[in-house]
Amino acid sequence: MNIQNHSFLNAHMDWQRSDFPTNFEFGVATSAYQIEGSQFGGCGESHWDRYAAKSGNVVGNEHGGIACDHYNRWEEDLNLIQQLGVDSYRFSTSWARIMPYGKGQPNAKGLAFYDRLIDGMLARGISPNLTLYHWELPMALADKGGWCNRDTAYRFADFSELICSRYGDRVDRFATINEPWCVSWLSHFLGLQAPGKTSLEAAALSMHHILLAHGLSIQAMRSLNQRNLGIVLNFEHAQPADDSERAILATERHDAIINRWFLEAITKKQYPEPALEGLGDYLPESYSEDMDIIGQPIDWLGINYYTRQLIAHEDGCGFPATKTVLGPRPKTAMDWEIYPEGLGQLLPRIAEQVGADMPLYITENGLATNEPIIDGRSQDGLRLDFFNQHLAEVKGAIDKGLNIQGYTAWSLMDNYEWSFGYDKRFGLIHIDFETLKRTPKASYYAWQKSMQS
Ligand code: IFM
C-alpha cells in the first residue's frame, strides 16, 4: 500500500498535518457491531441482532452477523490504519461479545480478541481510543427493559470496570457512551434504531438512564485510577426553518433535546427547560438525586458532527411538535445537508459550556457517498471536499483559541450503517461485502499524503 504505487491518484487535501498544532491528533473511527461480525467468537446476542432479524427494520433486512469480518481480518485493518499514517484508532468494545448475557462470566474469546486488537495497535504505533458502548446492548438486558430499566446503568458500570481493569494499562483514552441521544431519543422516541420504541416515556427514561450509566462508569473507572475519561456526544446545527415564532420555539425544543440535554446534565447537573416541559413527567421521580453522579468531572469531550437541521413546528402531534425540513445545500447519500459552518458555529458554543480548559476532540465527521469503484479505484471527490471544508472549520476554531485537540474521520471503512444496512458507504476504504476485499479510496490516499507532510 505504498503511496508511490498510487501516483495515478492526484487527489489531495487542502491541508496538511503541519497546518495543525504539533500534538493535534488525527484518527479514524469504527464501532464493534458495524465491523466485527457478531456471529464470530462466542459473541452473545445483542438487541441489534434481534432488531435486524425482524423483517422491515433494516433496509434489505441486513444484519451485522458478518459485517466487515473484522473479527478475523483485524490485522489487515490495523495495517491499513498504520499505512494511512494517523495517530489514533477510535474503536468500541462489544458488551455482548465480552459478556454474552450482559453480566456474569466473561467470554474468554471476546476478552482475548480485544487483547490482540489493542496490542496490535500498540505494535503499530497507533494510539488506542476505546469507546465502551456503541449501541449493541446484550439481549438479556434488553429483555429486562434495556435502557428503560435503571438496573442496566449498574450493569454497565460493572462492564466498564471489567474493561478498564483488563485494558486500562494500554488504552490512551476511554469514552463511556457513543451518542446518548441516538441510544435514547432516536431509538426510543423516533423508533429508528434498536429497540425501535416510539414512546415519550421510554425516551425520557432512557435519556436519564444512559446518563446515569455514564456517570457510574466514570466513577468505576476513576476508582481504578484510570485517566483520560470522557463521553462522545452528537450535535446538530439547528436553525428555524422560517421566521415564525412557532418555528423559533420548535427549534429551541429540538436544540434542547439533542444539543443541550446531555451536555448540560454533565456540565451543569441539570436538564434544559424546553425539554423538561415535555419529558419531566416521565422521568424517574427522584431523578434529581442522580445528577451528582451524572455530573462527574470528565477529562475530555468528544463531538460528533454531520449536518444541520432546519426545524419547523409540527401541528397535531404532542411534544415536541417539531419536524425537520430539508435545507437547500447539497446532500450526502444519507440525505444529510452538507453544512460545514454548522460545526464552526457549534464549537464555540460547546466550549463555552464546558469551559475553556476542557480538551475537545472531533470524534466523528464524515459522509456517505455512492461513488462506485471503477477499475479497482474510487475517486471519491465528494469525500475529499467534505473533509476539506470541515477541517477548515476546525482549523478556524483552533486559530480563535479553542482547545480542540484532535479530529477523527468516520469511518475507516464502509460498514453496517444500522437501519440503512450496507448501502451507505462512509469509509476511507471501500468494502466489497460479497468478497470482503478492502480497497482504499482516493480519500485514503489523500489523507495519507497529508499525514506525511
Ligand atoms: O455510523 C454512525 C455511527 O455508528 C455513529 N455516528 C454516526 C455514524 C453515521 O451515521
pLDDT value at 9 more than 80? no
Per-residue pLDDT at 372: 78
Catalytic residues: 179, 364
Residue 7 binned pLDDT confidence (cut-offs 50, 70, 90) = very low
Per the CB < 8 A criterion, the answer to whether 264 and 271 are in contact is: yes
What is the 341 CA–ligand 1 centroid distance (Å)?
A: 20
Report how far apart, in Å, the C-alpha atoms of 294 and of each of 92, 131, 373 are. Answer: 21, 18, 46
The fraction of the chain above a pLDDT of 90, given in percent, is 94
Output the pTM of the full model.
Answer: 0.97
- Would the CB of 393 count as within 6 Å of ligand 1? no
Q: State pLDDT tens for residues 118-168.
A: 999 999 999 999 999 999 999 999 999 999 999 999 999 999 999 999 999
pLDDT value at 183 more than 90? yes
DSSP output for 335-387: --B--HHHHHHHHHHHHHHH-TTS-EEEEE----B-PPPBTTB---HHHHHHH
- How buried is 105 (Cβ within 10 angstroms: 0-12 exposed, 13-18 middle, 19+ buried)? exposed
Three-class DSSP category at 447:
helix
Per-residue pLDDT at 124: 99
Q: How many helices (DSSP H) and strands (DSSP E) are in the chain?
A: 16, 11
- Would the CB of 307 count as within 6 Å of ligand 1? no
Provide the CATH number for the domain around residue 173.
Answer: 3.20.20.80
Per-residue pLDDT at 51: 98
The fraction of the chain above a pLDDT of 70, given in percent, is 98
pLDDT value at 450 more than 60? yes
Residues with Cβ within 8 Å of 435's Cβ and at least 6 positions away in sequence, in order, are none
Nearest atom (ligand 1) to Cα of 418 = 1
Domain range for residue 440? 3-451
- How buried is 231 (Cβ within 10 angstroms: 0-12 exposed, 13-18 middle, 19+ buried)? buried
Nearest atom (ligand 1) to Cα of 411 = 1
d(CA 136, CA 446): 33
Mean of the per-residue pLDDT values of the chain: 96
Q: State pLDDT tens for residues 34-82.
A: 999 999 999 999 999 999 999 999 999 999 999 999 999 999 999 999 9
Q: State pLDDT tens for residues 265-302.
A: 999 999 999 999 999 999 999 999 999 999 999 999 99
What is the 417 CA–ligand 1 centroid distance (Å)?
A: 7
Of 48, 232, 426, the residue with max ligand 1 atoms within 8 A of its CB, to mutate for a pocket test, comes to 426
Query: How many structural domains compose the chain?
Result: 1
pLDDT value at 376 more than 80? no
